[in-house]
């Protein structure tokens, strides 16, 4: 199976993208709703939770892991890749590759949670590949609560977005990374506020594309992945809001099963 | 010692009020920052965390527990009071007593997290005491993130408050309960938006007063409480934002020690 974990429900945008790009493959999802959000927690805590989530998915039979949370990916992906003997994908590298390909001016904007931006991971990965590029980043800690409230078209959300995005717009970026899996749900509000001609990079789509290419070139691994049975959606806490976001993301009701990853 | 727990840093307003009302008593605080916030989680998860937090404080030597979190109090206080053999105070009952005493019109407003409002605890306790009273309540899930961001005087915060409070203002309440320990930090924005003559009830102050009266009438318990040594502030995750809020609440730097309560 393909295992996907996230701090909560945001990573369902990744599960949806994988489902569409690789139909027939079986997925197991884990959303850590009992400890969500990760974005304002310390690196040490996020690493410990990410390790537990990975172990949970492996115990469920996952042979490939996708870290569908930019925050977890930004501080824990190197460590998980060292510690676990399976291919581990994450949402950051594919988004970085796409941003490098999309930008002509070399001026790239990035938004994310406080922990993601503090890690400097996008800046590091982009300038490693092309030292001439400039990265302008902004932590947007209120966007996750606004999305989870379903305030996707409210005047307050637009004002808060304007406050976050205006400094990046002034930098005249031509490419803009949505560095959190919740943000694609705000795409239509973000585009006019960052500039109509700016390329938005959605990490959910990029990681699905990157996994599909990997499986194309590794038929042995692809062949070993299960195509039988239903996809499973585990969460460490079941709430009405989570069920509602799941329904919104997938366009159909999703059965959430309760499981905890903490040891 | 007097043990105080909260889902994060909001309960420090309670610790501060107890410190001022009972100077010389030794406090041990636990803030569950690694799993914060509780307000949007399920009752089952909140009960399990509250039990673990209580056990942690008892292991530190606490002889009295204060549940300094409206969300935890609203769903877990009855259970904790049955399960643990020490006096357990919580922020709701004292605020309810004060609201009943303050209201002349019998029209009382309550704001809180989603879990607190969903529990219906304020409505239940108020109408149990006085069936003629009417309670109008509103979940305000974005206020905790706004306070934790330090957006205490921003235009966006004022707009969001207006949206939450306007329906309650129309109900012409004369008494208004701040049913979350984060909200006293927004008192000055709330007062003009709910009405200048409306009595605001701050649960932090009320629980400190209630504990002081209990100790006055139970000198045996009061005598057994420690007055030696420094107060301890434990949190399950250490972040810059938490240290900053602690400094703001106490008006001095607070040394945060890391400890987890999960088993």
Q: What is the pLDDT of residues B47-62, one digit of tens each?
A: 999 999 999 999 999 9
The pLDDT assigned to A26 comes to: 95
Supply B127's token pair.
Answer: 């109408």
Cα separation, B162 vs B193, in Å, equals 6
pLDDT at B120 over 90: yes
The domain defined by B93-203 carries CATH number 3.40.50.2000: no
Kindly write down the DSSP assignment for every residue of A18-50, as one continuous string.
Answer: HHHHSTT--EEEEE-TTT---TTS-HHHHHHHH
Q: Are A62 and A3 in contact (CB under 8 A)?
A: yes
pLDDT band at B263; cut points 50, 70, 90: confident
The pLDDT assigned to B245 comes to: 85
Mark yes or no for CB contact B34/A41 under 8 Å. yes
Contact residues on chain B for A32, CB-CB shorter than 8 A: none
Q: How far is B142 from chain A (nearest CA, A)?
A: 7
- Among A158-162, A211-215, B173-177, B237-241, the minimum mean pLDDT is found in B237-241
Cα separation, A41 vs B162, in Å, equals 30
SS3 string of chain B?
Answer: CEEEEECCCCCHHHHHHHHHHCCCCCEEEEECCCCCCCCCCCHHHHHHHHHHHHHHHHHCCCCEEEECCHHHHHHHHHHHHHHCCCCEEECHHHHHHHHHHHCCCCEEEEEECHHHHHHCHHHHHHHHHCCCCEEEEEECCCHHHHHHCCCCCCHHHHHHHHHHHHHHHHCCCCEEEECCCCHHHHHHHHHHHHCCCCEEEEHHHHHHHHHHHHHHHCHHHHHHCCCCCCCEEEECCCCHHHHHHHHHHHCCCCCEEECCCCC
Region for A195 from its dihedrals, namely left if φ exceeds 0, alpha if ψ lies in -120 to 50, beta otherwise: left
Cα separation, B65 vs B59, in Å, equals 12
The pLDDT assigned to A4 comes to: 98
Task: State whether residue B146 sits within 8 Å of chain A by CB.
Answer: yes
pTM over the 0.90 mark: yes
A194-214 confidence digits (pLDDT tens): 999 999 999 888 999 999 999
Contact residues on chain B for A238, CB-CB shorter than 8 A: 42
Average confidence (pLDDT) over A210-226 = 93
Residue numbers of B between 54 and 113 with CB closer than 8 Å to A: none
Task: State whether residue A35 sits within 8 Å of chain B by CB.
Answer: yes
Task: State whether residue B239 sits within 8 Å of chain A by CB.
Answer: yes
The domain defined by A2-90+205-258 carries CATH number 3.40.50.1860: yes
Residue B244 backbone dihedrals phi, psi, to 5 degrees? -70, -45
Tell me which of B17, B69, B92, B246 is the catalytic residue. B69
Q: Which of A40, A163, A241 sits opposite B241 (nearest CB)?
A: A40
Which sequence spans correspond to the domains of chain B?
2-90+205-258, 93-203
- Strands in A199-202's sheet, in edge-to-edge order, are A134-139, A107-112, A175-178, A199-202
pLDDT over 90, % of chain A: 85
- Residue B209's Cβ-count burial label (10 Å; 0-12, 13-18, 19+) is middle
Contact residues on chain B for A45, CB-CB shorter than 8 A: 34, 236-237
Average confidence (pLDDT) over B242-260 = 91
Mark yes or no for CB contact B239/A42 under 8 Å. yes
Mark yes or no for CB contact B45/A237 under 8 Å. yes
Contact residues on chain A for B44, CB-CB shorter than 8 A: 237
Average confidence (pLDDT) over A133-148 = 94
Task: State whether residue B237 sits within 8 Å of chain A by CB.
Answer: yes
The pLDDT assigned to B257 comes to: 95
A180 is a catalytic site residue:
yes
A5-24 confidence digits (pLDDT tens): 999 988 999 999 999 999 98
B199-236 confidence digits (pLDDT tens): 999 988 899 999 999 999 999 999 988 888 889 999 99
Mark yes or no for CB contact A149/B141 under 8 Å. yes
B60-106 confidence digits (pLDDT tens): 999 999 999 999 999 999 999 999 999 999 999 999 999 999 999 99
Residue of A145, A260, A263 for testing the chain B interface, max B β-carbons within 10 Å: A145
Q: Which of B146, B151, B238 sits opposite A42 (nearest CB)?
A: B238
In this structure, the strands spanning B27-31 and B2-6 are parallel
pLDDT band at A72; cut points 50, 70, 90: very high
> If we measure between CA atoms, which residue out of A12, A25, A10 comes closest to residue A212?
A25
Q: How far is A238 from chain B (nearest CA, A)?
A: 7
Q: If you count residue pairs, one on A and one on B, with CB atoms under 8 Å apart, how many are there?
A: 58
Average confidence (pLDDT) over B233-256 = 91
The pLDDT assigned to B159 comes to: 97
Cα separation, A90 vs B237, in Å, equals 24
Tell me which of A22, A28, A57, A69 is the catalytic residue. A69
Residue B28 backbone dihedrals phi, psi, to 5 degrees? -125, 125
Q: Residue A36's closest chain B neighbor by CA?
A: B35
pLDDT band at B189; cut points 50, 70, 90: very high
Q: Which of the listed CATH numbers 3.40.640.10, 3.40.50.1860, 3.30.390.50, 3.40.50.620 matches domain A93-202? A: 3.40.50.1860
The pLDDT assigned to B255 comes to: 94
The pLDDT assigned to B96 comes to: 97
pLDDT at A49 over 90: yes
The pLDDT assigned to A240 comes to: 85
pLDDT band at B32; cut points 50, 70, 90: very high
Domains A2-90+205-258 and A93-202 share a fold: yes
Cα separation, A177 vs A201, in Å, equals 5
Average confidence (pLDDT) over B174-197 = 95
Mark yes or no for CB contact A148/B40 under 8 Å. yes
B140 is a catalytic site residue:
no
Task: State whether residue B156 sits within 8 Å of chain A by CB.
Answer: yes
Q: Is A121 helix (H, G, I), strand (E, B) or coil?
A: helix
Q: Is A195 helix (H, G, I), strand (E, B) or coil?
A: coil
The pLDDT assigned to B15 comes to: 96
Q: Which of B146, B156, B239 sits opposite A40 (nearest CB)?
A: B239
pLDDT at B31 over 90: yes
Cα separation, B116 vs A194, in Å, equals 37
Q: How far is A149 from chain B (nearest CA, A)?
A: 8
pLDDT at B148 over 90: no
pLDDT at A263 over 80: no
Cα separation, A26 vs B99, in Å, equals 55
Residue of B40, B43, B46, B154 for testing the chain A interface, max A β-carbons within 10 Å: B40
């Amino acid at each position: 199976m393909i295992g996907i974990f996230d701090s909560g429900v945001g990573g369902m945008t990744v599960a949806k993208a994988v489902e569409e790009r690789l139909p027939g493959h079986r997925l197991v999802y884990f959303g850590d709703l009992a400890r969500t959000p990760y974005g304002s927690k310390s690196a040490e805590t996020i690493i410990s939770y990410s390790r537990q989530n990975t172990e949970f998915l492996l115990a469920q039979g996952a042979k490939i892991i996708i870290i569908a949370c930019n925050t977890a990916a930004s501080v824990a992906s190197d460590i998980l890749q060292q510690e676990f003997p399976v291919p581990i994908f994450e949402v950051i590298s594919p988004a970085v590759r796409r941003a490098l390909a999309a930008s002509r001016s070399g001026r790239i904007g990035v938004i994310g949670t406080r922990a993601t931006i503090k890690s400097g991971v996008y800046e590091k990965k982009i300038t490693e590949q092309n030292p001439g590029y400039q990265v302008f980043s902004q932590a947007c800690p209120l966007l996750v609560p606004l999305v989870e409230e379903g305030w996707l078209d409210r005047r307050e959300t637009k004002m808060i977005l304007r406050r976050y995005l205006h400094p990046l717009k002034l930098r005249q970026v031509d490419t803009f990374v949505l560095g959190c899996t919740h943000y694609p749900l705000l795409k239509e509000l973000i585009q006019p506020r960052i500039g109509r001609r700016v390329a938005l990079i959605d990490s959910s789509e990029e990681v699905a594309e990157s996994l599909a290419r990997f499986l194309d070139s590794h038929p042995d691994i692809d062949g070993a992945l299960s195509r039988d049975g239903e996809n499973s959606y585990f969460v460490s806490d079941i709430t009405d809001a989570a069920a509602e976001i799941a329904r919104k993301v997938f366009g159909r009701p999703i059965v959430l099963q309760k499981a905890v990853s903490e040891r």
